[in-house]
Amino acid sequence: MSMTEIKTAVRRSDGTVALEGTSLCYTMPPCRLARYPMIIVLTTTFTLVAFAANSPLCRMALAGHLIDPVSFTTLRLVSGAVALMPIARLLDGPEKTQKTGGSWVSGFALFVYAAAFSFAYVSLSAGIGALILFGSVQITMVVAAVKSGESFGPAQWLGSVVAMGGLITLVMPGISAPTPLGALLMCASGIAWGMYSIRGKGVSAPIAMTAGNFARAAPMAVVASSVAFSKAHMDPLGILLALISGIVTSGLGYVLWYQALRSLTISQAEIVQLTVPVLAAFGGIMFLAEQISVRLIAASVLILGGIALAVKKREP
């Protein structure tokens, strides 16, 4: 190949990079976290636990009419920005925070996800909400993975189908015909979250990037609150739930997610998120005295087994 001939590099799901139209391939140098698999597992696990906590926090606040959806979204995003910006400046430095501090596209995706998520849960049950949300996330990220050149083997496709079957089994008793508006909002939330996750792939400064995204999403939420001010209502408990969601399970959770994404392919990132409903269900057993069932165990086996199939590294 001449020095002037340019070939397109395509990244595969196994971590190698191939030159299009040739048989040449090489392995990309891993990020520092990739050298420590256990840290990757722990980071991803803590992130998914935070994600699992977001849904009950939102449902408790909105279903109990403790706060309106717009105010919940605004407090969630503003508190996340206020908490993360000082941390980013302290750990990453002012110059790096300013240089790598998010983007307006990611900030908009974050705002759409959070706002649509809050409004959707006003009219959707937990079961159908989870199914539409994670189904939308899966489709968005699979399409992005295919477009970016990631190849899916039979095990990955089978694992994805099995895991989605487990999700349907898990939420089936809670599925009822959704309202068209609620379904559309949750679908928009899932697509926006998928885009937000994709844009976080490979970021060099997760804290600064997340803080910047929250700082850009917060003014959008404030504008929405000013428009819907006449319908605003907030109880102390509703405010507390929104702040916990914003600072802990969203702000710090998304920092960990962007960190984990540095070591995950897009296809791996989309499939591992199917553990969130399982974690939420077991959280209900541990903290809300809900009963364990055969259906929950069977669904968990299907979801976790499907994920194991999908993320298993293929042999060359």
pLDDT tens-digit series, residues 127-146: 677 778 878 888 888 788 77
Q: Is the pLDDT at 314 greater than 70, yes or no?
A: no
pLDDT at 22 over 60: no
pLDDT of residue 127: 64
Token pair belonging to 80: 């996340």
Considering the chain, what is the average pLDDT of its residues?
A: 78
pLDDT-derived band of residue 170, with 50, 70 and 90 as boundaries? confident
- Output the CA torsion sign for 296, 298, 302, 305: positive
Please, what sign has the CA dihedral across residues 198, 223, 98, 36? negative
The confidence band for 289, taking pLDDT boundaries of 50, 70 and 90, is low
Ranking 27-31, 43-47, 218-222, 232-236 by mean pLDDT, the lowest is 27-31
If you write DSSP's letter for every residue of 274-287 in order, what string do you get?
THHHHHHHHHHHHH
Instruction: Give tens-digit pLDDT for 201-240.
Output: 767 778 888 889 999 999 999 999 999 888 889 999 999 9
Contact 304, 162 (CB under 8 A): no
Residue 39 has pLDDT above 90, yes or no: no
124: tokens are: 């959707």
pLDDT above 60 (res 313) = no
Predicted pLDDT at 213: 92
Alpha carbon distances (Å) from 66 to 71, 158, 217: 10, 42, 23
Q: Say if CB 97 and CB 208 are below 8 A apart.
A: yes
Summarize the confidence of residues 14-29 as an average pLDDT: 49
Check pLDDT > 90 for residue 12: no
Query: How many other C-beta atoms can be found within 10 angstroms of the C-beta atom of residue 6?
Result: 9
Residue 210 has what pLDDT?
87
Q: Are 257 and 197 in contact (CB under 8 A)?
A: yes
**The length of the chain, given as a count of residues:** 316
pLDDT of amino acid 281: 73
Is 24 strand, coil or helix? coil
Position of tokens 């679908």?
A: 187
Identify residue 239 by its one-letter amino acid code.
I
Residue 188 confidence class, pLDDT cut points 50, 70, 90: very high
Name the pLDDT band for 290 (thresholds 50, 70, 90): low
Provide CB contacts within 8 A for 89, sequence distance 6+.
Answer: 97
- Residue 275: pLDDT above 50? yes
Which pTM does this prediction carry? Answer: 0.75
C-alpha distances in Å from residue 47, one per residue of 1, 36, 99? 44, 17, 25
Sequence letter at residue 261: L
Higher pLDDT, residue 315 or 287: 287
- Confidence tier at 316 by pLDDT (50, 70, 90): very low
Burial of 143 (0-12, 13-18, 19+ CB in 10 A): middle
